[in-house]
Structure 1
Amino acid sequence: MFKNSTAIIAGAVALSCQIPAHAFQIGDSVNANLIVNLLSDYRSNGASQSRGDPALQGELFVMHDSGLIGGLWMSSVDFGTKTRREEGGYIGIYKELTEDLKVTATVGRFMYPKNSTYSLNEFYSVVEYKNFRYNLVYDWAMEAPNATYQYLGYTFPLPYDTKLYIEYGYHNVGDVLYGASGKISDNYQTRKASLKKSFVGIDWSVTYIDTSLSDNECLYFMGYEDSCSAGVVFGATKVF
């Protein structure tokens, strides 16, 4: 968020392209899952959406045998305002084009009770080929300039059913990043490395996240200088 236009970057359908394996059936051709996620810090596009505090997230994910998908999303947030919840929904499609090539695309609307100026529309897409992953997110219909977020990642299989995921992100958010010298920029980068392992029916993760945003740029973008600095996030996800 940057204070003058109160723009919030949601990234709220991050779980939607992780097609769950333990779905329960609704009829003959529709499966559904409830996904509960507990994080030590809610990071979206590198920036904290909870001011470094823990966040609880929930998602209802529904998928038809044809590949049509939809869902409802909610997360706790903290921007130093009365808004304490991010909520929304999305519809889209998931396709396995080949054994190695998978594509997901969704369109959603995400809202923030007690501050409608934060609300936005979001196009979210993922292309996965073997262990490679490309992610494109486009946000519009918000008070800030339209924003595009792109990620390129790779998953390394490790012993003991552990995975290491590394990711680089390049993001264009419009001319809203003001450096300490007065220079205005429209883009920044993110870096992420995440260890993931399933144990006792829960998906555990520990993730290092960093951005190229300076303290001054982060102050204009999110409202707080320390919301974009490097940090480690612990996560636990349960799929029902």
Structure 2
Amino acid sequence: MIPFFRKIRKTLADDNKPIKYFRYAIGEIILVVIGILIALQINSWNEQRKERIQEKIFLKRFVVELNTNLENILTAISLNKSRIHRAEFLLRTIDKPQLAVDSSSYFMKSIEHASYTNIPLISDNAFEELKSSGNLSLISNEALRAALQKYYSWTSSEGQYNFLQQDIQLNYSQLKQGIFTTSQVIDMGDYYITKNYSAIEAKETFERMLNKPKFLEFIPYVIQNKLMAGNSYDDICNQAKAIKILLKAELDKQNDD
């Protein structure tokens, strides 16, 4: 470039054409600037293209992760409802002892399972990877990004409440000690056991249960805890379903671009 301007300067000095020189020099500068701007634009476009590719990869990972999480949440909701029904059934037997005898196996297993806790496992690997790398901005859709942040904060925000559920289960387990015989306690150790209980076993167990007033008084607290858990699970389930819709819309949009 320097030899070029020296040549121009020499020519102008010879020809005495300064106006032509400045026009030509300005034109050269403009071309250089335009070239730089085009190069910067191409570089920016390439970076944006790479970001969109990365974003699409993460969006697909969120879909897979969300589907698994939803299965866990729906399972937790179903089990939670089942345990509420069992606890409510135990309360009904107090006024109607015949219920325990007529549904002997359900009664026996309700004593064991009514307070069981099943906290849905929310996998957050993709989100944590984005957050820890400081690349949350890769998710270009602001509404989707905000929804993901709220959804994945559920596990930490519910930590203390989940501890309460586990505490309720522990207290319940301690209060029911002495209701089952030794062999029944061992049988109940396998959640998936298919053992059926006779009406006589249920009647004897019911009588032992009545002799545990603190256990009976604790059942309403189990129900209350399960109802609160159910509301929480319903909330996170609805969030997950809403995010699925946002993810599908965003992926469809990117596929069309």
Both structures adopt the same fold (TM-score exceeding 0.5): no
Highest RCO, 1 vs 2 (Cα 8 Å, sep ≥ 6): 2
Higher-strand-fraction structure: 1
TM-score by length of structure 2 reads 0.20
TM-score by length of structure 1 reads 0.21
